[in-house]
Amino acid sequence: MAKKTAKNRKSRTVLDILKGKFLVEGDAFSVWKFILFLMVLSLISISSSHIVDEKVVEISDLKERSEEYKARYALIHNKLMKLKVESELGEIVSSDSLYPLDKQPYKILVPKVEDE
């Protein structure tokens, strides 16, 4: 009989759980430790998910900036290639009274002189 009464004391019914009797009776300290442990784990999980969300937003911003820089590079590279074309360069410098040569320039070769 003694074993049955001890077993009846430790068994909890749904009504006891709903009333919260397990939080104040008997081994309540171990229950509170477990609840505190679960709360700490949930706070860690929530904070880590917030940190990950911030990193995802930062990464997407960096990707957008990277795409913008790539587009700027392509535009500037295109302008540079256009400016390197001789006909475009001739039009630009003609406003400064400079004109392209009709003949190719001569290359002057100077022999090396050895010092004594």
Q: How confident is the model at residue 3 (pLDDT cuts 50, 70, 90)?
A: low
**Each residue's pLDDT tens digit, 62-113:** 999 999 999 999 999 999 998 888 777 777 778 777 777 788 888 999 988 8
Cβ within 8 Å of residue 10, ≥6 positions away: 26
Helix 86-94 / helix 28-84 crossing angle, nearest 10 deg = 70
**Each residue's pLDDT tens digit, 23-69:** 788 778 888 899 999 999 999 999 999 999 999 999 999 999 999 99
Q: Output the pLDDT for position 115.
A: 78
70, two tokens: 């790539």
Q: Output the pLDDT for position 96.
A: 79
CA 111 and chain centroid, separation: 61
Contact assessment for residue 38 and residue 30, using Cβ atoms and an 8 Å cutoff: no
82, two tokens: 């256009």
pTM over 0.85: no
CA 73 vs CA 17, 61, 63, 86: distances in Å: 67, 18, 15, 22
